Amino acid sequence: MADTILEMRGITKKFPGVTALEDVNLTVTRGEIHAICGENGAGKSTLMKVLSGVYPHGSFEGEIVYDGSPVAFGSINDSERLGIVIIHQELALIRYLSVSENIFLGNERRDRAGFLDWNRTNHEAAELLAQVGLDENPTTPVGHLGVGKQQLVEIAKALSKNVRLLILDEPTSALNDTDSEHLLDLLRRLRHEGITSIIISHKLNEVASIADRTTIIRDGRTVETIEMDGSPGLQERIIRGMVGRDLETFYPERESTIGEEVFRVEDWTVMHPTQPGRVVVDHATLSVRAGEVVGIAGLMGAGRTELAMSIFGRSYGRHVGGQVYLHGVPVDTSTVADCIRHGIAYVTEDRKGYGLNLIDDIRHNISAAGLSRLSRGGLVDANAEIAVAETFRSDLGIKAPSVLSLVGQLSGGNQQKVVLGKWLYTEPEVLILDEPTRGIDVGAKYEIYGLINRMVAAGKAVVVISSELQELLGTCDRIYTVAFGRVTGEVPTAEATQENLMRLMTLERNVTDETLQPEVVR
């Protein structure tokens, strides 16, 4: 008989007006990697918060049995004392503290006199960073790291504790393919060391490659638990369980009708905001035409997001040179207001940091970028604002009791839909999407791909930045590759493969070649 480390029996969790979980059951075997799949809002994260004590005993119905004994966690500290450590989808780091301070926050390394032992702290932090494959100085402030690297710091923080059951909520959502595979290899090594893992993921290829078993949750209920034995059709079975229907393809078909050039960035150069002399975007040139989806592919740190943010209102770095053209006419994009006025919209990869006001409601978030459409004489028409928000809530399938619901209480996927609604309301001619499906389930991804198709069918120009090469291959007409801040290639999707894209994404500059031109694959 399998050695069971965890049983959750009949878990029911209710919020005002919403039943998040209803009679959910979960059994996890010691030493396995157990995946949990479901659409956004299905209850996956809520179930893990119940397990870890974020939602304390007494706030839910049901029983938790850990290591053979019933447990009643009053807080996350109670679960951590028994070796249960959760890494949430949204990072819980303090950006102004160093990497080592974040790793040992609340678990500080002290000397015999009770003072902080900084040598020991930084030494142990360096060992943990090496274990997760992050080559950073432990004294570096976390705020200086990108989202992907911050995720690795979170994992190092979890490993610093005496973990026996590790819970990871969308751990690879902020990582590119290479770093994701490194993390999966790390989980495999932990499995060999006897550490049990529960992983929530929307990346079904990763689930298929790493999970021993997968439990599917739909609408707050357990659907089934599947043995991941490599049998044919497992991913299709998971999708069917998640969404309650078959998806004929991961990417909806689109017939391209490409027109004249709408948007061009020429010779764009940007310096690092705090490091003099460091070029982050190096003479980048790209274009997108009406009815076209153009992808931007690059490894972490390649400069993809920096390029987009520096174009959109100079939101990143120090602009040195280059010009943006709209329909062949030079335009000023010095401020976000300038970009909105010219019909340029940018959906950020960091929806919580830059895309949303989490303590405000759906209504105000959706109208935020287009208030001029709703105001007369400096006053906002509140009824019209609610009507607009309701339209986007319905069209985008945002799951919330009403448009007056706080955005911070929504699931990650529904928050992403609110960000999309905010920018779609401005009716942009150019829509730049930075990691638009990060942390979103397969059903919601399909809806967003359909939204992209509708945009280009209406003659709009769309740019998609993504760490998932398969996503770019499935949605784009052309793909630019970026490495070390430079555009290194331009590939028609019909001729692109993951292999030739990766080659261009890792193309280093020859120090004697200062006039390197992007490689066009034909």
**Averaged pLDDT for residues 322-330:** 96
> What backbone phi and psi angles, to 5 degrees, belong to 33?
-105, 115
pLDDT score at 521: 56
pLDDT bracket for residue 230 (50, 70, 90): confident
Largest CA distance in the chain: 73
- Which range (108-117, 224-233, 468-477, 512-521) has the least confidence? 512-521
pLDDT greater at residue 177 or residue 384:
384
Dihedrals phi, psi of 216, to nearest 5 degrees:
-105, 130
HSE (side-chain half, CA atoms, 13 Å) at 518: 25
CB–CB of 150/94 below 8 Å?
Answer: no
Rounded Cα distance between 309 and 433, Å, is: 11
CA distance to 25, 32, 145, 195, 197, per residue, from 187 (Å): 24, 10, 23, 9, 8
Side-chain-side CA neighbours of 76 within 13 Å: the count stands at: 11
- Give 75-103 as a DSSP string: SHHHHHHTTEEEE-SS----TTSBHHHHH
Q: Would you say residue 137 has pLDDT above 60?
A: yes
- Using the predicted structure, report yes or no on whether residue 204 has a pLDDT greater than 90: no
C-beta of residue 456 within 8 angstroms of C-beta of residue 292: yes
What does the DSSP assignment read for 447-469? HHHHHHHHHHHTT-EEEEE-S-H
The confidence score (pLDDT) of residue 163 equals: 87
Which positions ≥6 away from 304 have C-beta within 8 Å?
296, 297, 298, 434, 465, 482
- Residue 227 · residue 33 · CB < 8 Å: no
User: What pLDDT score does 508 carry?
Assistant: 62
Q: Which CATH number fits domain 261-343+430-520: 3.40.50.300, 1.10.3720.10, 3.40.228.10, 3.30.429.10?
A: 3.40.50.300
Which residue from 391, 442, 441, 443 is spatially nearest to 418, judged by alpha carbons?
A: 391
Q: Is the dihedral of CA 173, 175, 177, 180 positive or negative?
A: negative
For residue 477, the model assigns a pLDDT of 96
Element holding 480 (H helix, E strand): strand 478-483
For 196, the enclosing helix (H) or strand (E) is strand 196-200
CA dihedral 55, 56, 61, 64 (to 10 degrees): 100
Which pLDDT score is estimated for 186? 85
Task: Output the six-digit token pair for 225.
Answer: 């638990």
| 464: phi then psi, degrees, rounded to nearest 5 | -120, 120
Comparing 102-106, 233-237, 404-408, which segment has the lowest mean pLDDT?
A: 233-237
CATH 3.90.190.10 describes domain 4-243? no
Domain residue limits, the chain: 4-243, 261-343+430-520
For residue 360, pLDDT over 90 is answered with yes
Contact, 437 vs 448, CB < 8 A?
yes
The dihedral sign for the CA sequence 465, 469, 472, 475:
negative
Q: Per-residue b/e over 183-206, b at no fewer than 16 CB within 10 Å?
A: bbebbeebbeeebbbbbbbbbbeb
Q: How confident is the model at residue 1 (pLDDT cuts 50, 70, 90)?
A: very low
Tell me whether the CATH fold assigned to 4-243 matches the one assigned to 261-343+430-520.
yes
Angle made by CA atoms 123, 126, 127, in degrees to the nearest 5: 90
430-434 and 461-465 as β-strands: parallel, antiparallel, unpaired? parallel
Mean pLDDT of the chain: 89
What span, in angstroms and rounded, lies between the C-alpha atoms of 3 and 440? 33
Q: At what angle do helices 412-424 and 442-457 cross, to 10 degrees?
A: 10
